[in-house]
Protein backbone atom coordinates (compact mmCIF):
# COMPACT_ATOMS: atom_id res chain seq x y z
CA UNK A 1 0.00 0.00 0.00
CA UNK A 2 1.23 3.52 -0.81
CA UNK A 3 2.99 5.22 2.10
CA UNK A 4 0.94 8.26 3.09
CA UNK A 5 1.28 11.30 5.33
CA UNK A 6 -1.42 11.62 7.97
CA UNK A 7 -2.10 14.73 10.06
CA UNK A 8 -3.90 13.96 13.33
CA UNK A 9 -5.15 16.75 15.58
CA UNK A 10 -5.74 16.10 19.27
CA UNK A 11 -3.25 13.24 19.22
CA UNK A 12 -1.80 13.63 22.72
CA UNK A 13 -4.52 11.45 24.22
CA UNK A 14 -7.29 8.92 23.66
CA UNK A 15 -8.56 8.27 20.13
CA UNK A 16 -6.10 10.61 18.39
CA UNK A 17 -3.08 8.97 20.00
CA UNK A 18 -4.28 5.52 18.93
CA UNK A 19 -5.00 6.73 15.40
CA UNK A 20 -1.40 8.00 15.19
CA UNK A 21 -0.07 4.71 16.57
CA UNK A 22 -2.14 2.68 14.08
CA UNK A 23 -0.87 4.53 11.00
CA UNK A 24 2.73 4.47 12.25
CA UNK A 25 2.49 0.70 12.86
CA UNK A 26 1.35 0.29 9.26
CA UNK A 27 4.31 2.24 7.86
CA UNK A 28 2.81 5.70 7.22
CA UNK A 29 4.18 9.12 8.15
CA UNK A 30 2.27 10.94 10.89
CA UNK A 31 2.19 14.56 12.08
CA UNK A 32 0.61 14.86 15.51
CA UNK A 33 -0.93 17.93 17.16
CA UNK A 34 -2.44 18.96 20.45
CA UNK A 35 -2.88 22.22 22.33
CA UNK A 36 -0.65 21.34 25.31
CA UNK A 37 3.00 21.21 24.23
CA UNK A 38 4.27 19.07 27.14
CA UNK A 39 1.58 16.44 26.64
CA UNK A 40 2.29 16.33 22.93
CA UNK A 41 6.02 15.95 23.48
CA UNK A 42 5.41 13.09 25.90
CA UNK A 43 3.22 11.40 23.27
CA UNK A 44 5.85 11.98 20.59
CA UNK A 45 8.34 9.98 22.67
CA UNK A 46 5.74 7.37 23.63
CA UNK A 47 5.11 6.78 19.92
CA UNK A 48 8.80 6.19 19.35
CA UNK A 49 9.89 9.66 18.10
CA UNK A 50 11.10 8.06 14.87
CA UNK A 51 11.76 9.46 11.40
CA UNK A 52 8.12 8.84 10.40
CA UNK A 53 6.78 11.11 13.15
CA UNK A 54 6.59 14.91 13.54
CA UNK A 55 4.67 17.20 15.89
CA UNK A 56 3.15 20.67 16.00
CA UNK A 57 1.66 22.04 19.24
CA UNK A 58 -1.11 24.61 18.89
CA UNK A 59 -4.79 25.34 19.34
CA UNK A 60 -6.76 24.12 16.31
CA UNK A 61 -9.15 27.05 16.53
CA UNK A 62 -6.45 29.12 14.80
CA UNK A 63 -5.98 28.52 11.10
CA UNK A 64 -2.26 29.19 11.67
CA UNK A 65 -2.03 25.87 13.56
CA UNK A 66 -3.36 24.01 10.51
CA UNK A 67 -0.94 25.95 8.30
CA UNK A 68 1.97 24.90 10.54
CA UNK A 69 0.81 21.27 10.44
CA UNK A 70 0.75 21.39 6.65
CA UNK A 71 4.16 23.09 6.47
CA UNK A 72 5.80 20.39 8.63
CA UNK A 73 4.08 17.60 6.69
CA UNK A 74 5.45 18.99 3.41
CA UNK A 75 8.91 19.79 4.77
CA UNK A 76 9.45 16.36 6.38
CA UNK A 77 7.39 14.04 4.19
CA UNK A 78 6.51 15.89 0.96
CA UNK A 79 2.71 15.48 1.00
CA UNK A 80 -0.46 15.77 3.11
CA UNK A 81 -2.67 12.82 2.19
CA UNK A 82 -5.04 12.39 5.13
CA UNK A 83 -6.28 14.93 7.69
CA UNK A 84 -7.95 13.53 10.81
CA UNK A 85 -9.82 16.34 12.59
CA UNK A 86 -9.96 14.60 15.94
CA UNK A 87 -9.22 17.38 18.48
CA UNK A 88 -12.36 17.88 20.49
CA UNK A 89 -13.92 18.53 23.86
CA UNK A 90 -17.12 17.30 25.51
CA UNK A 91 -18.75 18.21 28.82
CA UNK A 92 -22.27 18.26 30.14
CA UNK A 93 -24.09 21.35 31.44
CA UNK A 94 -27.84 22.02 31.52
CA UNK A 95 -29.00 24.19 28.63
CA UNK A 96 -30.23 27.07 30.81
CA UNK A 97 -26.77 27.35 32.43
CA UNK A 98 -24.89 27.66 29.13
CA UNK A 99 -23.56 31.17 28.58
CA UNK A 100 -21.82 32.58 25.53
CA UNK A 101 -18.27 31.96 26.78
CA UNK A 102 -19.07 28.31 27.48
CA UNK A 103 -20.71 27.79 24.09
CA UNK A 104 -17.77 29.48 22.36
CA UNK A 105 -15.32 26.95 23.85
CA UNK A 106 -17.09 24.14 21.98
CA UNK A 107 -17.61 26.11 18.80
CA UNK A 108 -13.93 27.13 18.84
CA UNK A 109 -12.33 23.74 19.36
CA UNK A 110 -14.83 21.41 17.75
CA UNK A 111 -16.32 23.40 14.87
CA UNK A 112 -13.78 26.14 14.10
CA UNK A 113 -10.92 23.69 14.72
CA UNK A 114 -12.28 21.27 12.14
CA UNK A 115 -13.31 24.08 9.76
CA UNK A 116 -10.04 26.02 9.69
CA UNK A 117 -7.64 23.07 9.86
CA UNK A 118 -9.43 21.66 6.83
CA UNK A 119 -9.26 25.05 5.11
CA UNK A 120 -5.49 25.13 5.72
CA UNK A 121 -4.88 21.65 4.28
CA UNK A 122 -7.29 21.38 1.32
CA UNK A 123 -5.26 23.67 -1.00
CA UNK A 124 -2.42 21.11 -0.85
CA UNK A 125 -4.86 18.26 -1.51
CA UNK A 126 -6.14 20.19 -4.52
CA UNK A 127 -2.57 20.44 -5.84
CA UNK A 128 -2.16 16.69 -5.32
CA UNK A 129 -5.63 16.01 -6.74
CA UNK A 130 -5.81 13.49 -3.92
CA UNK A 131 -6.75 13.68 -0.26
CA UNK A 132 -8.96 12.40 2.53
CA UNK A 133 -10.45 14.39 5.41
CA UNK A 134 -11.85 12.42 8.33
CA UNK A 135 -13.82 14.30 10.97
CA UNK A 136 -14.81 12.90 14.34
CA UNK A 137 -18.47 13.42 15.19
CA UNK A 138 -20.92 11.66 17.46
CA UNK A 139 -24.16 9.65 17.07
CA UNK A 140 -25.60 12.03 19.72
CA UNK A 141 -26.29 14.61 17.00
CA UNK A 142 -29.15 12.44 15.79
CA UNK A 143 -29.80 10.47 18.97
CA UNK A 144 -30.22 12.67 22.04
CA UNK A 145 -29.92 11.51 25.66
CA UNK A 146 -31.89 13.39 28.31
CA UNK A 147 -29.49 12.24 31.02
CA UNK A 148 -26.52 13.86 29.26
CA UNK A 149 -27.34 17.58 28.93
CA UNK A 150 -24.87 18.54 26.22
CA UNK A 151 -26.41 21.17 23.94
CA UNK A 152 -23.10 23.02 23.49
CA UNK A 153 -20.89 20.10 22.38
CA UNK A 154 -23.69 18.43 20.43
CA UNK A 155 -24.54 21.62 18.52
CA UNK A 156 -20.86 22.00 17.60
CA UNK A 157 -20.61 18.36 16.49
CA UNK A 158 -23.85 18.58 14.51
CA UNK A 159 -22.25 21.39 12.54
CA UNK A 160 -19.29 19.10 11.81
CA UNK A 161 -21.66 16.47 10.37
CA UNK A 162 -23.21 19.12 8.07
CA UNK A 163 -19.80 20.50 7.13
CA UNK A 164 -18.72 16.99 6.15
CA UNK A 165 -21.49 16.61 3.58
CA UNK A 166 -20.97 20.06 2.09
CA UNK A 167 -17.18 19.61 1.79
CA UNK A 168 -17.69 16.19 0.21
CA UNK A 169 -19.99 17.85 -2.32
CA UNK A 170 -17.62 20.73 -3.09
CA UNK A 171 -14.41 18.69 -3.41
CA UNK A 172 -15.46 15.21 -4.53
CA UNK A 173 -14.78 16.09 -8.17
CA UNK A 174 -11.19 16.94 -7.16
CA UNK A 175 -10.65 13.47 -5.72
CA UNK A 176 -10.82 14.74 -2.14
CA UNK A 177 -13.09 12.61 0.01
CA UNK A 178 -14.59 13.91 3.27
CA UNK A 179 -16.23 11.67 5.87
CA UNK A 180 -17.21 11.69 9.54
CA UNK A 181 -16.71 8.83 11.96
CA UNK A 182 -19.12 8.94 14.89
CA UNK A 183 -17.91 6.91 17.89
CA UNK A 184 -20.09 5.66 20.73
CA UNK A 185 -18.76 6.02 24.28
CA UNK A 186 -15.05 5.19 24.01
CA UNK A 187 -12.67 4.46 26.89
CA UNK A 188 -10.48 7.61 26.88
CA UNK A 189 -9.44 10.24 29.46
CA UNK A 190 -12.48 12.25 28.29
CA UNK A 191 -14.73 9.96 30.36
CA UNK A 192 -12.38 9.03 33.23
CA UNK A 193 -12.77 6.02 35.51
CA UNK A 194 -16.57 5.89 35.34
CA UNK A 195 -16.67 5.11 31.64
CA UNK A 196 -18.03 1.55 31.98
CA UNK A 197 -21.24 2.94 33.48
CA UNK A 198 -22.06 3.83 29.86
CA UNK A 199 -21.94 0.19 28.68
CA UNK A 200 -25.73 -0.22 28.48
CA UNK A 201 -26.03 2.67 26.05
CA UNK A 202 -24.66 0.30 23.40
CA UNK A 203 -26.44 -2.75 22.02
CA UNK A 204 -23.20 -4.71 22.55
CA UNK A 205 -23.45 -3.80 26.26
CA UNK A 206 -19.91 -2.48 26.50
CA UNK A 207 -18.13 0.77 25.78
CA UNK A 208 -15.78 1.05 22.81
CA UNK A 209 -11.99 0.98 22.83
CA UNK A 210 -9.72 3.42 21.01
CA UNK A 211 -8.60 0.61 18.67
CA UNK A 212 -12.22 0.21 17.46
CA UNK A 213 -12.17 3.79 16.18
CA UNK A 214 -8.58 3.78 14.88
CA UNK A 215 -9.32 0.74 12.70
CA UNK A 216 -12.22 2.55 11.04
CA UNK A 217 -10.20 5.74 10.53
CA UNK A 218 -7.54 3.62 8.81
CA UNK A 219 -10.12 1.83 6.63
CA UNK A 220 -11.73 5.08 5.50
CA UNK A 221 -8.32 6.66 4.83
CA UNK A 222 -7.23 3.76 2.62
CA UNK A 223 -10.51 3.27 0.75
CA UNK A 224 -11.18 4.97 -2.59
CA UNK A 225 -14.95 5.24 -2.76
CA UNK A 226 -16.23 6.24 0.69
CA UNK A 227 -17.32 9.88 0.50
CA UNK A 228 -19.80 12.11 2.31
CA UNK A 229 -20.52 9.33 4.79
CA UNK A 230 -21.33 9.49 8.48
CA UNK A 231 -20.07 6.19 9.84
CA UNK A 232 -21.11 5.14 13.33
CA UNK A 233 -18.53 3.11 15.27
CA UNK A 234 -20.80 2.86 18.24
CA UNK A 235 -21.64 -0.72 19.17
CA UNK A 236 -25.20 -0.06 17.99
CA UNK A 237 -25.80 3.00 20.19
CA UNK A 238 -27.38 4.91 17.30
CA UNK A 239 -29.82 2.05 16.77
CA UNK A 240 -30.87 1.47 20.37
CA UNK A 241 -29.78 0.74 23.92
CA UNK A 242 -29.25 -2.29 26.09
CA UNK A 243 -31.04 -0.89 29.13
CA UNK A 244 -33.26 -2.81 31.57
Ligand X SMILES: NC(=O)c1ccc[n+]([C@@H]2O[C@H](COP(=O)([O-])OP(=O)(O)OC[C@H]3O[C@@H](n4cnc5c(N)ncnc54)[C@H](OP(=O)(O)O)[C@@H]3O)[C@@H](O)[C@H]2O)c1
Q: Which residues of the shown chain bind ligand X in the complex (CB under 6 A)? A: 9-16, 33-36, 39-40, 59-61, 86-90, 109, 113, 136, 138, 183, 185-186, 188-191
Q: DSSP code of 52? A: T
* Residue with Cβ nearer ligand X (11 or 107): 11
- Return the number of the residue (128 or 158) whose C-beta is nearest ligand X: 158
Which residue's CB is nearer to ligand X, number 27 or number 48? 48
From the CB of 133, what's the least distance to ligand X, in Å?
A: 14
**Taking the complex as a whole, how short is the minimal distance between the CB of residue 77 and ligand X, in angstroms?**
21
Closer residue to ligand X in complex, CB, 34/52: 34
Nearer to ligand X, 78 or 146 (CB): 146
Rounded CA separation 25/20 (Å): 9
H, E, C per residue of 174-227: HCEEEEEEEECCECCCCCHHHHHHHHHHCCCCCCECHHHHHHHHHHHHHCCCCC
Task: Work out how close the CB of 157 gets to ligand X at its nearest, in angstroms, rounded to a whole number.
Answer: 7
The nearest distance, CB 29 to ligand X, in angstroms, is 19
Eight-state DSSP code of residue 11: -
- H-run or E-run covering 182: strand 176-183
Least Å from the CB of residue 1 to ligand X: 25
In angstroms, how far apart are the furthest CA atoms of the chain? 55
C-alpha–C-alpha distance, residues 19 and 25, integer Å: 10
Spatial distance between the Cα atoms of 195 and 210, rounded to a whole number of angstroms: 13
Report the candidate in 101, 90, 102, 136 with the shortest Cα–Cα distance to residue 117: 136
Amino acid sequence: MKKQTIIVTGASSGIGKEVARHFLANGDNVVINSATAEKLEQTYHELGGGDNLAMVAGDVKYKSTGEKLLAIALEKFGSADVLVNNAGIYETRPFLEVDEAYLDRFLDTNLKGTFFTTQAVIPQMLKQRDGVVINIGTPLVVHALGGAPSTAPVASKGAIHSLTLQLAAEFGKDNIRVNTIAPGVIRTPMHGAEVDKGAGLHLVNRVGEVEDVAQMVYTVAKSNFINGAIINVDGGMGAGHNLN
